[in-house]
Amino acid sequence: MPILQIKDITKVYEGKVTHRALNQLSFDVEDGEFIAVMGRSGSGKTTLLNIISTIDEPTSGEIILDGMNPHKLNATELAYFRRRQLGFIFQDFNLLHMLTVEENIILPLTLDQQPLEVMEERLKSIVEKLDLTSFLHKRPNEISGGQAQRTAIGRALIHNPSLILADEPTGNLDSNSARDVLELLTKVSNERKTTIVMVTHDPIAASYCDRVLFIKDGEFFNEIYKDDRRQLFFQRILNVLSLLGGGQVGDLSTIRLP
Amino acid sequence: MTFRQFAYRNVVRNSRVYGAFFMASFFSVAVFFIYSMLMFHPDIESGILGEVSMIGMIGAEIVLVLFTLFFLYYSMSAFLEARSREFGILLHLGMDKRQMNKLVFLETMIIGAASIIVGIIFGFSFSKFFFMIVREILHLEELPLYVSWEPFVLTIGVFTSAFVVITFTSVYLRRERKLLDLMKGSNYLHSVISYSKIRAIYGIALIISTYVLVLLVSYTSMIGLTLLIPFSATFGTYYFFSDSVPFFLDLARGKRKYHWQRYRLLSLAEQTNIMQENVKVFFVVTMVSTMAFLSVGVLATMSSYTTQYERLNPLGLIYKGDIDNPYESEHINLLMEQLEEKGLSYHLTRFVVIKQTSSFTHNEVEVFRESDMNTLLSSFGYPMLKLSAGEAVFIPYSEESLKKLKNTVVHTVLEENEIPLTIDSVYPEIVFPGSIVSVNSIVISDEDFAKLKKPIADADIVQPSYKLFTFDIPQWMETKEIGKEIDHLAVDEYFIKKENRSPFYFENAGLNYSYILATYSLFTLVGVLVATVFLLAAGSFIYFKLHTSLEHEKRKFDVLKRMGLTDIELKKLVNRHLFPQFFLPWGVAMMHSAFAFFMVQSILKDIANISIVKEVFFAFGFFVIIQVVYFYLIRWRYISHIRT
């Protein structure tokens, strides 16, 4: 049973220049799956993510999340839906600078008016898992990028959402932090059976996923599944990417696995 | 595209960004111009308000200019701060520092010129309306609109130089910042909470001790302490904002049970942040608002004094002289002549007042004769007195005494002549102003009065009796010119001849009233004007501050919306974000001025015997309304900015 179904989503931006960002895109995401969406800049990745996170409406088509279509809800219900069902991880972390690390993580639960005991209990288990204990009372501007992204992951996980949406989570991190974050996401996906949809440019990041979906100019292009060996999977991703670039391999940056 | 064209297009095509600054400048110009129109008014110059007013008006104009300068400087810095990203891009493209300064200068001059022109047009079109208000306040016959070059030249001159000064100072006083930081957009300080517990306690303690001091002053009238109050209030307020409030917020944040609830988590953190960044602004706004409240309160007091004046001073002219006063007949004839010349009807009453000692208090008491009193009372149209031998009536000297003496019954004997008296009532109207009659004044029957043969025994008293001439003039407001010579003579006796006491005393209610009215009008004009500018500025400070951090706020709310913040919750959060910024400084200012009024009230009670409670409540109510309107106005703008 797929937890997320994308059915013929089309998104057209009207304005002085009409632009078709997504064109009849369809795919399913299984429960507990860790999926990466790849494509070049402007291929519609972020639009897709915005539509799934319900802050943008598709021009046509529908999405079904956990058996219902969130775009049919009214504004308040939608907000409640987002706060309970979805978790977000951003490229630039988007932690609230005036809150401490601890407060940032707990924020979704306070918005949902959970009792204090529940909050403390969840916080404790998450913090241990993410190894955040030593800087719980620091401010976001006092910690490193990797720590900040781990905090953001904590914030995305604390309310046990059915779907986590990650927008280039490793985009602002150095290679070591990026590897940590990706391993963490894999672990979360395996242990807690959390479904993650990650949008990325980075073939290395994509190679940690169960499946990689490629889109080109807003249309479905290809998809590949994970191998036993990550090295091989990475190679295949590169191959698809070179096809995606219109056959000109020179378009791609040369990347080696660390 | 030349450099000048670039600057011009920058302004014209970004009217929304420049709009706020333009509005601030434009309003200042308009207020200044309207005021100048009044100052240069030919009728005013020819002395409706007297010479004191002219100096006062110039003083007020200077205060206005200084405040406007400060206000514009603040707006300008906030405005430049908000545009730091744009400057970053320009510097990145290779613009050098001098060119950028030139750009800022050109732009400010364009905005300045536009606001001067629009402000003057706006001011001129509203000056007739303003004159109408002034005419009402000053009780003038008419105050026509006029056209003269002076206000225009003054306004243009003052504001052109103001804009030049402001541009230079704000450009050169700007902190040097790295290009990289500029590119990141407006500066958002990521500072850690820093407050000291000692200063936090100090702040609260200072404010409380100020209030205690105020109460002390009002109860014991130790006026010397008054000098301390402004200092302790100022420091107390500053520490209150810089340390006490963050301290309390931090205490609240420490309590998870309280803190981890709904938006409290966000709003408390937000408050801490706001407090840190706005200590100076809040402090200035508080002090400025306190001043505005006070000036309006003083106005209200003055207006209440003028309305009560007639009640407290029922007589037009009063001439008080010794029995052997050499000028008596000369002066009284002069007054009568002058009154007739002016065609003013009057009613003259002559009193002989004899001083005696009361056995009840062993103090001096001034005794009036019943028939003299009745002559005056009949001219007022008040009820007459009917006294038989042994009866007496108190003469009230103020509203307070009326109430106090109403239920007092005194059995006394006038010691020198051994006349027993029962004083069992007070005359129900104020007949003489407080400055003329003594605290112990009674009316006795003609029979008893005739028995007063022996003068007062107390050797210290030089004059055992005196004569009083009262002129009851229905048109008492027009007696300003009457008896000027006598007034001058009295002044000469006092100051030139250095005589200890003059054989006569003259009081002209009309003249005094004209002085009071002139001062009052001056205060009204200045007060209204300064309060307007203060109020405008206080609100605008907050608006500009918000404007600067708008980009950042927008991103924050974006994240929160994604995380599932409903629209209602967003509004509530904005409320909690804005509410303290508006009402904390104003609330503190209200507290300050409430205590200040408390003091003023108790001092006034001693001097002028008037109550200002009603007026002050009215003034406060008015301010609260303005505040609430401001709050909703800015909240509406803010929410619409956040949503786009």
Report whether A48 contacts A25 (CB < 8 A).
yes
Q: A234-249 pLDDT, tens per residue? A: 888 888 888 876 545 4
Distance CA A6, CA A29 (A): 8
Give the pairing type, strands B347-357 and B465-472.
antiparallel
Distance CA B78, CA B81 (A): 5
Residue A110, SS3?
helix
Is A113's Cβ below 8 Å from some Cβ in B? Answer: yes
> B121 Cβ partners below 8 Å, 6+ apart?
none
- The answer to whether the CB atoms of B563 and A82 lie below 8 A apart is yes
Examine the domain organization and report whether B239 and B385 are in the same domain.
no
What pLDDT score was predicted for residue B114?
92
Helix (H) or strand (E) holding A60: strand A60-65
Residue A34 phi/psi, 5-degree rounding, is: -115, 105
Is B566's Cβ below 8 Å from some Cβ in A? Answer: yes
What pLDDT score was predicted for residue B354?
83
Quote the tokens at residue A138.
């620091």
> A204 Cβ partners below 8 Å, 6+ apart?
A178, A182, A234, A255, A257, A258
- The percent of residues in chain A predicted with pLDDT above 70, rounded, is 95
> B492 Cβ partners below 8 Å, 6+ apart?
none
**pLDDT class of B48 with cuts at 50, 70, 90:** low
pLDDT of residue A19 exceeding 80, the answer is yes
Distance CA B119, CA B29 (A): 5
Specify if B580 maps to a domain.
Answer: no
Calculate mean pLDDT across residues B204-228.
78
Examine the domain organization and report whether B181 and B210 are in the same domain.
no
Quote the tokens at residue A151.
């905090």
- Number of helical (H) and strand (E) elements in chain A, helices listed first: 8, 9
Least confident of A18-22, B148-152, B600-604: B600-604
Report whether B380 contacts B314 (CB < 8 A).
yes
- The answer to whether the CB atoms of A96 and B262 lie below 8 A apart is no
Q: How many CB pairs under 8 A join A and B?
A: 77
- The answer to whether the CB atoms of B265 and A106 lie below 8 A apart is yes
Buried b (16+ CB within 10 A) or exposed e, B163-180: beebbeebbeeeeeeeee
Tally of domains within chain B = 3
pLDDT of residue B47 exceeding 60, the answer is no
Examine the domain organization and report whether B233 and B130 are in the same domain.
no
User: For residues B523 and A180, which has the higher predicted lDDT (pLDDT)?
Assistant: A180
Examine the domain organization and report whether B2 and B107 are in the same domain.
yes
How is chain A split into domains, by residue range?
Answer: 2-251
Nearest alpha carbon to residue A163 among A62, A87, A257, A68:
A87
Nearest alpha carbon to residue B279 among B182, B172, B194, B205:
B194
Quote the tokens at residue A64.
């079904």
Distance CA B15, CA B21 (A): 10
Examine the domain organization and report whether B74 and B173 are in the same domain.
yes
> B562 Cβ partners below 8 Å, 6+ apart?
A53, A55, A82, A88
Which amino acid, one-letter code, is at B234?
A: T
Quote the tokens at residue A44.
């519609």
Examine the domain organization and report whether B239 and B331 are in the same domain.
no
Report whether B370 contacts B385 (CB < 8 A).
yes
Domain ranges, residue B439: 315-509
What pLDDT score was predicted for residue B184?
62
Q: A202-244 pLDDT, tens per residue? A: 888 899 999 999 988 888 888 899 888 888 888 888 888 888 7
SS (H, E, C) B456-505: CCCCCCCCCEEEEEEEECCCHHHCCCCCHHHHHHHHHHHHCCCCCCCCEE
Distance CA B30, CA A149 (A): 53
Specify if B210 maps to a domain.
Answer: yes
- Measured between beta carbons, which residues in chain A are less than 8 angstroms from residue B190? 97, 139, 141
Name the one residue in this structure whose structure tokens are 């395996």.
A190
- The answer to whether the CB atoms of A84 and B562 lie below 8 A apart is no
Q: B423-475 pLDDT, tens per residue? A: 888 888 777 777 777 778 888 888 888 887 777 776 666 677 888 888 887 77
CB contact residues (below 8 A), chain A span 58-97, against chain B: 75-76, 79-84, 86, 88, 90, 94, 96-97
pLDDT of residue B121 exceeding 90, the answer is yes
Examine the domain organization and report whether B150 and B169 are in the same domain.
yes
- The answer to whether the CB atoms of B561 and A55 lie below 8 A apart is yes
Specify if B572 maps to a domain.
Answer: no
What pLDDT score was predicted for residue B426?
82
User: For residues B399 and B341, which has the higher predicted lDDT (pLDDT)?
Assistant: B341
Angle subtended at Cα B155 by Cα B152 and Cα B158, rounded to the nearest 5 degrees: 140
Examine the domain organization and report whether B59 and B179 are in the same domain.
yes
Least confident of A53-62, B364-373, B484-493: B484-493
Calculate mean pLDDT across residues B52-62.
71
Nearest alpha carbon to residue A130 among A151, A109, A145, A112:
A151
Quote the tokens at residue B269.
């953190």
- The answer to whether the CB atoms of A79 and B565 lie below 8 A apart is yes
Nearest alpha carbon to residue B115 among B86, B78, B158:
B158
Calculate mean pLDDT across residues A66-75.
84
- Measured between beta carbons, which residues in chain B are less than 8 angstroms from residue A142? 192
Distance CA B106, CA B8 (A): 8
Fold of A2-251: Rossmann fold (3.40.50)
- Measured between beta carbons, which residues in chain A are less than 8 angstroms from residue B256? 116, 120
Distance of CA B78 to the CA centre of its chain: 29
- The answer to whether the CB atoms of B569 and A83 lie below 8 A apart is no
pLDDT of residue B531 exceeding 80, the answer is no
Distance of CA B451 to the CA centre of its chain: 54
Least confident of A71-80, A110-119, B255-264: B255-264
In whole angstroms, how far apart are CA A25 and each of A12, A36, A220, B73, B540?
A: 13, 15, 6, 55, 50
Report whether B385 contacts B373 (CB < 8 A).
yes
- Measured between beta carbons, which residues in chain B are less than 8 angstroms from residue A152? none
Angle subtended at Cα B74 by Cα B70 and Cα B80, rounded to the nearest 5 degrees: 145
Domain boundary among B128, B154, B187: B187
- The answer to whether the CB atoms of B565 and A111 lie below 8 A apart is yes
Which amino acid, one-letter code, is at B190?
A: H
Evaluate if pTM is beyond 0.80.
Answer: no
Residue B454 phi/psi, 5-degree rounding, is: -80, 135
Is A117's Cβ below 8 Å from some Cβ in B? Answer: no
Examine the domain organization and report whether B206 and B183 are in the same domain.
no
Distance CA B47, CA B518 (A): 10
User: For residues B490 and A192, which has the higher predicted lDDT (pLDDT)?
Assistant: A192
What pLDDT score was predicted for residue B157?
92
Distance CA A64, CA B454 (A): 115
Q: At what angle do helices B264-312 and B245-254 cross, to 10 degrees?
A: 140
- ipTM for the whole predicted complex goes beyond 0.85: no
Distance CA B309, CA B36 (A): 31
User: For residues A197 and B514, which has the higher predicted lDDT (pLDDT)?
Assistant: A197
In whole angstroms, how far apart are CA B638 and each of A207, B41, B495, B551?
A: 44, 42, 64, 11
Distance of CA B500 to the CA centre of its chain: 37
**pLDDT class of B528 with cuts at 50, 70, 90:** low
Distance CA A95, CA A101 (A): 8
Q: B391-427 pLDDT, tens per residue? A: 888 888 777 777 777 777 888 888 778 888 888 888 8
Q: B276-305 pLDDT, tens per residue? A: 777 877 887 788 778 777 776 776 666 666
DSSP 8-state assignment for residue B390: T
- Residue A194: beta bridge partners? none
| Residue of A51, A110, A162 to mutate for B, most B C-beta atoms under 10 A | A110
Nearest-Cα distance to chain A for B83, in Å, is 22
Distance of CA A223 to the CA centre of its chain: 17
Report whether B319 contacts B469 (CB < 8 A).
yes
Least confident of A65-74, B58-67, B305-314: B305-314
Report whether A255 contacts A203 (CB < 8 A).
yes
Specify if B479 maps to a domain.
Answer: yes
Calculate mean pLDDT across residues A61-86.
86
Report whether A89 contacts A161 (CB < 8 A).
no
Of B182-186, B369-373, B397-401, which has the strongest mean pLDDT?
Answer: B369-373
